Amino acid sequence: MKSLFPLTLLTCLPLLGQLVPSEILAKDQAITEAQSDQIFKIVRAVTKGASEVVFPIFSNRNHIGYGVSVGDGKLIAKASEVVPRPKLLVKTKEGALPASILGAYPEQDLVLLSVDGLKAPAAKWVDGSGLPEGAFLAAVRPDGEAAGFGVKSVAARSLRAEDQGFLGVEMHPNDFGDGVRINRVVRDSAAAMVGLRPGDEILAIKGEVVKGFHEISARLRRLKAGETVDILISRNGNELKFRPTLQGSRAKEPESEQLRAMNSKSGSRNQVRDDFGNVVQSDMELESSQTGLPIIDLEGRIVGLVIARAGRISTLILPSIEIEEMLKSEPYKLDQRPRSVSERSRR
Amino acid sequence: MNNLIISLTLIGLQILSAAPTLESLSDLKALQERVQNVVVAATPATVSLISLRNGSAGSGVTVSAGGLVLTAAHVVQGSREMIVVFPDGREERARVLGANSTRDAAMVQLIGDGPWAFVEVGESDLLVTGDFVVAMGHPKGYDPTRRPPVRFGRVMTKDRSGFITTDCTVIGGDSGGPLFDLEGRVVGIHSHINVEEKAINRHAGITGFKKSWNKMLAGEKWGLLGSDGNGMSRPVIGVILGKKAGALVVQAMPSGSPALEVGVKIGDELLRTGDAEISSLDDLRKFLIDYEAGDRLKLVVGRNGEELEFQIMLAGLRAY
């Protein structure tokens, strides 16, 4: 049974029983497979550095992900996949070595592992923030093969709602024109604190004229919590200026049923996949058991680490600069902050 | 001499239509640069479209400085006006023009003064399996914290009704968004996916859009999504055809048949509809995708060595 989905976010699905997916003919399949082989073969020329610092991690003989060496016999790996699992073993050329947990970095969902007898150089993290969207990226396995190949789909950003500016006004999504009417002001919000009221019409934000709900929402969400903004409104025919200090958004929009269906059927996903303060999005196809792989650009430089398979179109990558910065601080001991990691994985 | 020219042209076409091959790292870097150039040019023209009626979100792409936007028919279904959000957050309104649902093709027109950022329209019929393509759109609806996510892939296959299948992964909200060739020309519009196959993402081919262009521009809405020209409401000329010595011959006509009404006879050979040569049922079916019941067109048949021309009005299959 094939499941076909139209791609709008509709409240109800049209009947698409008659939509038939085109079969991919063997001759077409052969062409694209040969092409993939060519690409993966070319990429192999630049994977050496990354392949020497990555190791598969097992728990009770199940492969649960990868870890990247940070020197001194230590690896970093995805915390929510590794921490809850018993009997961690790291496979190396010298054999399987037991690993123990030194601590965790809950902000990044990473764990620091100590592996007795591991001899591996530390990964050389390189800032890839200059790579434009559309740049080619590859995830590298210990054998030097690319596990995945794709592009930088979206530049580094925070996925956390609390990092987006929140004013606390409700408007009708279809409202459009000179002045957008506030229907409700959220209690204790930035808007309430400066005295914005229902019936006020928003004319401009930071001196720029705004003319619809979506435009206002976009402007505000691009600002940071804590930022003070000029807002021009019209009240009873008078223009008034307010200077609210934005809060962070309170609620994250839940994934719709339709999107969940599309995402969950398109392969495995990690439990912790959206709570990141700084990640790059790629269209690279990977499985949820492939977190922890180093990501390289076409120069072979390690520009990040796979932190989650998030859905059909999305693999999330922690940028190297984020990891370098993180490694300057001590990890939280799991018995000190026993709930921090598991809490995040439940959210 | 003429023959020679023809054969040379064919060779030329074969070279052009071979799937691209990559041999070295510098080939791959050159490809990367082309993809990045497409992204830069395509980003400002890739818009989010939101229905004023029910808030459902899809995508679209501007293809003229005057603000003509291409999208999928199922994105605009039931709406007369759409909210348009540009990647920079600018919000506008657009009027829904026409749609051919069989092709999942639609057009909307931005309201307000241009010029608008736009991209060129390409030709999907020239694509071959293995051609590199770039998909853009606004998956999950408009998100101000990002630009339209870039997806890279290849043409996996094409089908006879003009849809293209690629391994550029698309998802809810991408519908109506553009698929580009490496020249940055729109070659497809995201339509639907097989959720269990990451390599089956289907896009309405732009060549099909071009065939329906004038009717959509004039505001006509027709067709049925998923019918590929085989649906129960498809337009027909009202003949049952059979092959006879290589010719397509009228074998029967039901009562009320448009062809029967204008004087087509059993035994006539079907030659052309409109200006298209018809030599198989498949030719006729493909031709009729861009028409609907009530449309008038020219029908040319052969009878006793002579060509006869008729003007007929297409009927809906359901009328029988």
d(CA A25, CA A137): 29
Q: Which of A77-81, B146-150, B310-314 has the lowest mean pLDDT?
A: B310-314
pLDDT band at B54 (very low <50, low <70, confident <90, very high): confident
DSSP characters over A269-338? --SS-S--SSEEEE-----GGGTT-EEE-TT--EEEEEEEEEETTEEEEEEHHHHHHHHTSPPBPTTTSH
- C-alpha–C-alpha distance, residues A171 and A214, integer Å: 10
Q: Residue A341 — very low, low, confident or very high, per pLDDT cuts 50/70/90?
A: very low
CATH assignment of A49-158+258-346?
Answer: 2.40.10.120
pLDDT at residue A16 in the model: 35
Confidence of residue A264 (pLDDT cuts 50, 70, 90): confident
Q: Is the omega angle on the peptide bond into residue B115 within 30 degrees of 0, that is, cis?
A: yes
Interface test with A, best of B165, B192, B224, B232 (most A CBs within 10 A): B192
Residues B249, B269: contact at Cβ < 8 Å? yes
**Which residue did the predictor score with more confidence, B160 or A49?**
A49
Two structure tokens written together for A110: 């990473």
pLDDT digits (tens, 9 = 90+) for A143-192: 999 999 999 999 999 999 999 999 999 999 999 999 999 999 999 999 99
3-state secondary structure of B11: helix
Q: Which is nearest to A140 in space by CA: A274, A294, A36?
A: A294
Confidence (pLDDT) at B205:
96
Q: Span B67-85, mean pLDDT?
A: 95
pLDDT of residue A227: 95
A265 vs B232, more confident: A265
pLDDT computed for residue B82 by the predictor:
97
- Rounded CA-CA distance B45/B62 in Å is 5
CA distance A185 to B196: 43
Whether residue B305 is predicted with pLDDT greater than 70 in this model: the reply is yes
pLDDT in tens, B176-225: 999 999 999 999 999 988 888 888 899 999 999 999 999 999 999 998 87
Average pLDDT over residues B246-274: 89
Higher-confidence position of B270 and A258: B270
pLDDT digit string (tens) for B172-182?
999 999 999 99
Residue with token string 């991690």:
A57
The band of A301, judged by pLDDT with boundaries at 50, 70 and 90, is: very high
- Confidence (pLDDT) at B271: 92
Which of B56, B158, B195 faces A10 most closely, judged by CB atoms?
A: B56
Q: Which residues of A touch B157 (CB under 8 A)?
A: 22-25, 28
Q: Compute the count of residue pairs across chains A and B with CB atoms less than 8 Å apart.
A: 246
CA gap A183, A168 in Å, rounded: 11
pLDDT tens digit sequence for B83-141: 999 999 999 999 999 999 989 999 999 998 889 999 999 999 999 999 999 999 999 99
Query: Which B residues in the span 124-153 are in contact with A, Cβ-Cβ below 8 Å?
Result: 129-130, 134, 139-142, 144-147, 149-153
Q: Which two tokens stand for residue B284?
A: 């006729």
Chain B segment 245-304 residues within 8 A of A by beta carbon are none
The average pLDDT across A242-263 equals 86
- Per-residue pLDDT, averaged over A292-298, amounts to 98
Q: Which chain A residue lies closest to B138 (C-alpha atoms)?
A: A8
| B4 shares contact with chain A (CB less than 8 Å) | no
Considering the domain delimited by B235-319, tell me its CATH architecture: Roll (2.30)
Q: Average pLDDT for residues B284-288, to the nearest whole number?
A: 84
Q: What is the pLDDT of residues A221-232, one digit of tens each?
A: 999 999 999 999
Average pLDDT in chain A: 89
- A161-248, CATH topology level: Pdz3 Domain (2.30.42)
Which helix (H) or strand (E) element contains residue B13?
helix B2-16
The share of chain B scoring above pLDDT 70, in percent, equals 91
Residue A17: predicted pLDDT: 33
Architecture of the B24-226 domain: Beta Barrel (2.40)
pLDDT, residue A125, reads 98
Long-range contact pairs involving A61-66 (C-beta distance under 8 Å, separation at least 24)? A63/A289, A64/A289, A65/A289, A65/A290, A65/A291, A65/A292, A66/A141, A66/A142, A66/A290, A66/A291, A66/A292, A66/A293, A66/A306
- Using a CB-CB distance cutoff of 8 angstroms, which residues of chain A are in contact with residue B21? 35, 38
Name the range with the highest mean pLDDT among A20-34, B2-16, B43-57, B277-291: B43-57
Do β-strands B91-100 and B221-222 pair in parallel, antiparallel, or remain unpaired?
A: parallel
Q: B22, B27, B29, B36: which to substitute to probe chain A, counting the most A Cβ within 10 Å?
A: B36
Predicted complex ipTM: 0.90
pLDDT given for residue A165 in this prediction: 93
Interchain pair A259, B172: CB under 8 A = yes
Please say whether the dihedral angle defined by the alpha carbons of residues A44, A48, A49 and A51, taken in this order, is positive or negative.
positive
Task: Using CA coordinates, name the residue in chain A closest to B21.
Answer: A35
- Is residue A21 predicted with pLDDT exceeding 70? no
Closest in A25, A259, A285 to B140, CB measured:
A259
Cβ distance of A21 and B75 shorter than 8 Å: no
pLDDT(B314) > 90 = no
Q: How far is A91 from chain B (nearest CA, A)?
A: 30
Task: Give residue limits of the domains in chain A.
Answer: 49-158+258-346, 161-248
Neighbour-count burial of A116, counting CB atoms closer than 10 A to its CB (0-12 exposed, 13-18 middle, 19+ buried): exposed
Whether residue B35 contacts residue B152, with contact meaning beta carbons closer than 8 Å, is answered with yes
The confidence score (pLDDT) of residue A249 equals: 86
Q: What's residue A14's pLDDT? A: 33
Distances (CA, A) of A332 to A102, A103, A324, B255: 8, 5, 16, 83
- B50 contacts chain A (CB < 8 A): yes
Q: Do B144 and A217 touch (CB under 8 A)?
A: yes
Whole-number pLDDT of residue B64: 98
Q: DSSP states of A14-34 as a string?
A: PP-TT--PPP--HHHHHHHHH
- pLDDT of A20 higher than 90: no
A332 Cα to chain B: minimum distance (Å): 30
Q: A343: pLDDT confidence band, cut at 50, 70 and 90?
A: very low
Enumerate the domain spans of chain B. Answer: 24-226, 235-319
Which residues on B lie below 8 Å from A16 (Cβ)? 192, 225-226
**Is B142's CB within 8 Å of A214's CB?**
yes
The region that residue A17 occupies, defined by phi over 0 for left and psi between -120 and 50 for alpha, beta otherwise, is alpha
